[in-house]
């Protein structure tokens, strides 16, 4: 409990009192915690207007002769027609005015370049009309981490607003030193190239919010260029946290030895406070490549089939308008190429 006098006054009156200092520090910590909770909590009670729309039921009248979407997608031709339509002071049909784009979310790829190619072959190359989010852990473990990350960076440069890369726990120096990426980069390029990758990784964001209601990765926003991400006191929880396997409520010690596991009550509370519908996370191997848990509020997507030469697994992505966890397809494909040990990586099969 805090003392009756304001803690700061007690410390001023008795500057050498160790107990007074401890109580002041305790109270100061509580004040900061309450301020943080108020900052991330939303006071808004209204849901998004998008929730009230039923685009599929909207009919297009026979007399409408204006621009129409080609296969439900916005094209350059559509935009030219739209500009001319507006120039002639006409109105776009409301069915097309409310059109929302699809987005594809991929989980861990871990240097499995040929499985990355399978994603693009089955789901289409990234483009302005086919946006992607890759949810971290692009490198380590697999033999082609350099090819994976350079391909992903290339698409990020080509489509900066439609191709998004989030940082995982393997986009860190200490993991890269143990699980192969550092050795692979030095074997294929130079130590300077690895230092450049390391610097770029520090600037990657840790989360993405889709349509204001779907969070990809469980964390509050933190500034880029963050300190050692595997330090639990900094951003360790963001990169290492996981859901509780047994569905137990509350938080518990993680099996990885870093950060903690969270139960369905934690997920539910977080979503309610931040006006979100559900969470998409990765960082955890699943036999079918994905799993829907916590009453449909927490979706895990893992896109590296046959990870670490384990039993055959599938590699999925989650694609759709993200109105609910299962609105979009969760597609899977079998692992399609033989594994090889990454350059410079010990033959280890520790936890991902």
Active site residues: 170
- Cα–Cα dist 196/60, whole Å: 53
How many other C-beta atoms are found inside a 10 Å radius of the C-beta of residue 158?
13
Kind plus residue range of the DSSP H or E element containing 192: helix 191-201
Query: What length is written for the chain?
Result: 352
> What radius of gyration do the chain's Cα atoms show?
24
Strands 103-106 and 163-166: unpaired
Residues 6+ apart with CB under 8 A from 247: 263, 264, 293, 294
- Cα–Cα dist 320/134, whole Å: 15
Contacts for 248-256: CB closer than 8 Å, 24+ residues apart: 255/351, 256/351
What distances in angstroms separate CA 260 from CA 72, 148, 173, 268, one per listed residue? 42, 29, 21, 17
Asked if 299 and 280 count as a contact pair (C-beta separation under 8 A), the reply is yes
- Cα–Cα dist 223/210, whole Å: 19
Asked if 262 and 244 count as a contact pair (C-beta separation under 8 A), the reply is yes
Contacts for 119-127: CB closer than 8 Å, 24+ residues apart: 119/303, 119/315, 119/317, 119/333, 122/331, 122/333, 123/317, 123/319, 123/331, 126/155, 126/158, 126/159, 126/162, 126/163, 127/159, 127/162
Torsions phi, psi for 333 (to 5 deg): -145, 155
Asked if 331 and 124 count as a contact pair (C-beta separation under 8 A), the reply is no
């Amino acid at each position: 409990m805090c003392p009756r006098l304001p803690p700061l006054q007690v410390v001023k009156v008795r500057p050498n009192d160790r107990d007074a200092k401890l109580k002041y520090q305790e109270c100061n910590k509580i004040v900061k915690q309450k301020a943080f909770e108020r900052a991330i909590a939303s006071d808004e009670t209204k849901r998004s207007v998008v929730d009230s729309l039923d685009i599929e039921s909207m009919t297009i009248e026979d007399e409408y002769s204006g621009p129409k979407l080609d296969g439900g997608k916005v094209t350059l031709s559509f935009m030219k027609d739209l500009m001319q339509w507006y120039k002639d002071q006409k109105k776009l049909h409301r069915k097309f005015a409310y059109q929302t784009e699809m987005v594809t979310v991929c989980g861990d790829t871990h240097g499995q370049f040929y499985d990355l190619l399978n994603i693009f072959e089955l789901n289409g190359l990234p483009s302005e009309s086919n946006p992607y989010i890759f949810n971290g852990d692009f490198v380590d473990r697999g033999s082609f981490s350099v090819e994976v990350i350079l391909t992903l960076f290339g698409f990020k440069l080509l489509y900066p607003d439609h191709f998004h890369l989030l940082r995982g726990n393997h986009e860190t120096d200490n993991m890269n030193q143990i699980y192969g990426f550092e050795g692979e980069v030095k074997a294929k390029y130079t130590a300077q190239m690895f230092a450049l990758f390391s610097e770029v990784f520090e600037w990657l964001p840790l989360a993405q919010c889709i349509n204001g209601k779907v969070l990809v990765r469980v964390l509050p926003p933190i500034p880029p260029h963050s300190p050692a991400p595997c330090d639990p006191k900094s951003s360790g929880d963001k990169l290492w946290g996981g859901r509780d396997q047994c569905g137990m409520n509350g938080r518990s010690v993680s099996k990885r030895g870093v950060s903690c596991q969270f139960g369905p009550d934690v997920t539910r509370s977080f979503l309610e406070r931040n006006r979100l519908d559900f969470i998409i996370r990765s960082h955890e191997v699943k036999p079918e490549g994905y799993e829907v848990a916590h009453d449909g509020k927490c979706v895990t997507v893992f896109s590296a089939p046959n990870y670490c030469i384990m039993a055959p697994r599938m590699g999925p992505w989650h694609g759709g308008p993200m109105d609910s966890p299962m609105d979009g397809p969760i597609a899977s494909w079998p692992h399609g190429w033989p594994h090889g040990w990454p350059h410079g990586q010990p033959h280890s099969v520790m936890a991902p």
